[in-house]
Amino acid sequence: MDEQDRVQWPVIGQQPQGSPKSPSGLKWYLVLIAGLFLIACFVFSTYYLTHDDTRGVTVVRLEGAMVTGEVSDGDSIGSEVVGRELRAAADDPMVEAIVLRVDSPGGTPAAAQEIIGDLEYAKTKKPVVVSMGDMGTSAAYYVSAHADRIYANPDTFTAGVGVIWKFSDISRWMSNEGYNVSVIKSGSKKDMGSTSRPLSSDEELYAQKIVSDSFETFISDVTSQRKIDRSSIDDGRVIRGADAIKINVIDELGNLHDAIEGAKKMAKSRS
């Protein structure tokens, strides 16, 4: 078998020698790319024409009791979830302003402090406006006070500036039912808060100190962010939006769409 008669494996994609290269493949490829580009332009323009009210504004939702971590189940919202969304919106060049939609009774001080850190980061990039729904109280107000502006409805419950720590004692019931609990501990306060016994007087003083110190951090931070007379909120009561605006707890009465419009105006004034 001479050189010309040898069997050869075809090379994938290789044009047969001597045959002209067809431009049809390249032509259809370019047509496909052009079509995809036109579709993308159509979708992009349609979205912007039909979402004129939210153009350039991202809404981040803080709904449910605040806890630290990666939680979002309708009842609770994690600080990492809210914080990540705030930072993503802050770093997005297509976003001009952020509206934080708050509908929360509060939560843990640590969760609020984590979200505040991310909110402050966002504020260095663009305006952050809070829109309160049914409620924005306690730790949720702690967070909201750091926004550039707060909107609420006339009957939104807000403020509720305070700290609470509850203890339960079922030792009498346990005694009546014949239950007995033995505790071996390394320190006198190690089982503080156990439901099987009441707090000692020393433990009550210690618990009060923790609550008082936490409250001082809370109210001092709020009054440093907003011009609020401390005596008007230090009793921990919730305040209707219609009354809250009178003492500078909120800035404006309005719904989510009002807050979005306000955020857009703030973004334009900064540009």
Active site residues: 138, 190
Token pair listed for 229: 């007379």
221 Cβ neighbours under 8 A, 6+ residues apart: 142, 145
Measured CA to CA, the distance from residue 191 to residue 235 in angstroms comes to 30
End-to-end CA distance of the chain: 80
Measured CA to CA, the distance from residue 68 to residue 132 in angstroms comes to 21
Measured CA to CA, the distance from residue 81 to residue 89 in angstroms comes to 13
Beta strands 57-63; 97-104: pairing state: parallel
Token pair listed for 183: 């505790």
